[in-house]
Amino acid sequence: MDPITGLPSSRRSTLSDDAHREGLTTETHDWTLVKAIDLVADQKVVVIDGEKPIEEACDILTRNNISSAPVYDASTKSYSGMFDWADVMTYLLIVLKKKDASQQLEKTDAELSAEFNDLVKLASHCQPVPVKLASDLSKKNPFYSVLPETSLLQVVELFGSGTHRVAVVDANGIIKGILTQSRVVNYFYQNVTKFPPIEQLFPKTLNELDIGKGFVISASSDSFVLDALTMMIKNGLSSIAIVDSEGMLLGNISMTDVKYVLRSYSHVLMWKTCQQFVSTVRSRQGLEDGQDRYPVFDARPTSTLGYTIAKLSATKAHRLWVVDERMRAVGVLSLTDVLLIFARSAGANPKPKRVSSLSLSSPTSQSE
């Protein structure tokens, strides 16, 4: 692999204007004509029963190593939404925000754990909350579906406007698979040499493509996790940068990190500072993987698109933080941004649902 462009190292440039004509070489294809069903052919779909309590639904996500699953409502015989970690986080914040952080820190882990379970039950009048009611609390992940024959171009347009995943549903209403932004970007990466218009984009830098810039929402490392999470929910973010007093990027907190909070005796994590939260989560991840990760997944404005795609693929991250030479975040490059570029290269022009590097001003202060 070429470490600069992310392309296979044996590759020579194959820039051709005739990319849309099939059969020009034996290997190039028109990616816009690929069908949605082709990308999910091997998938085993996990569906959550809408009557299940939230705790069980979380367990299903963790056990299957997925970050979201469709929720089936038997009473309406339809899919009521997608349940994901952002919904869990939103639910937790509603339940926990009445507590006083300094009092909480005095309790033992066992006390916090018992209290947490009681709180969750009390919040829903002594009945566990069924998933079908919680499945769209965060309003970030509505249920989109496409037909198996839907073209990849249409899917990429949808993704380029900020949707993270779609269900591929056949004419009988059966879900054939869940197509995510990650899966699509990975598909492009694995097959880049088949798609010359995409391959041409790989050596271009983020600067040249004018992506990965803008203000970055961040929280200071010694602010409280609950405050940072509340800010994320308010701004519709799936991840927030954690910075030190000089604005240097130390790490990030993502919605998916909530799965570490839900493990028994880890509820105390919710009362910690951002830095403590990040440390605990990364340490756990490192143990589970048998290898530690770099604290920040980043790229420079001078990195190529190909490099960032290779890195997103390898790390399975949904975004890279774009940093300057002093490790200060100057933008974010998300899967949405990558797919927006691909859509535009095919002549489409998706309208972003929200700008991916948000233009809100300063980091939170501790008093918030």
CA distance 19 to 25: 10
Instruction: Mark residues 149-188: x for contact with other proteins by CB under 8 A, - for none.
Output: ----------------------------------------
CA distance 312 to 102: 38
Which one of residues 34, 61, 216, 296 is an interface residue with other proteins (CB under 8 A)?
A: 296
CA distance 331 to 299: 10
Interface with other proteins includes 206 (CB under 8 A)? no
Residue type (1 letter), 119: L
Cβ distance to other proteins smaller for residue 3 or 352: 3
| CA trace torsion 155, 158, 164, 169 (10° rounding) | -50
Interface with other proteins includes 14 (CB under 8 A)? no
**Shortest reach from residue 286's CB to other proteins, in Å:** 7
Considering only residues 254 to 283 of the shown chain, the ones binding other proteins according to CB under 8 A are 275, 278-279, 282-283
Considering only residues 311 to 340 of the shown chain, the ones binding other proteins according to CB under 8 A are 311, 313-317, 327
Interface with other proteins includes 113 (CB under 8 A)? no
**Shortest reach from residue 66's CB to other proteins, in Å:** 18
The interface region with other proteins, picked from 58-66, 138-146, 199-207, 287-295 by CB under 8 A, is 287-295
C-alpha distances (whole Å) from 241 to each of 60, 189, 230, 309, 321 are: 28, 26, 14, 20, 8
Residue recorded with tokens 């975040």: 329
Interface with other proteins includes 291 (CB under 8 A)? yes
**Shortest reach from residue 315's CB to other proteins, in Å:** 5
Q: Is residue 224 classed as helix, strand or coil in its secondary structure? A: strand
Q: Crossing angle for the helix pair 181-190 and 335-345, nearest 10 degrees?
A: 60
Which H/E stretch holds residue 319? strand 319-323
Q: Which two tokens stand for residue 30?
A: 């028109």
Interface with other proteins includes 222 (CB under 8 A)? no
**Do the beta carbons of residue 162 and residue 353 sit within 8 Å?**
yes
Interface with other proteins includes 212 (CB under 8 A)? no
Interface with other proteins includes 110 (CB under 8 A)? no
CA distance 350 to 345: 11
Cβ distance to other proteins smaller for residue 13 or 283: 283
CA distance 119 to 139: 23
Considering only residues 117 to 146 of the shown chain, the ones binding other proteins according to CB under 8 A are none
Cβ distance to other proteins smaller for residue 78 or 283: 283
Bridge partner residues of 219 (DSSP): 242
Which one of residues 292, 353, 354, 365 is an interface residue with other proteins (CB under 8 A)?
A: 292
Enumerate binding residues for other proteins (CB under 8 A): 1, 3, 6, 9, 106, 108, 250-251, 275, 278-279, 282-283, 286-287, 289-298, 307, 310-311, 313-317, 327
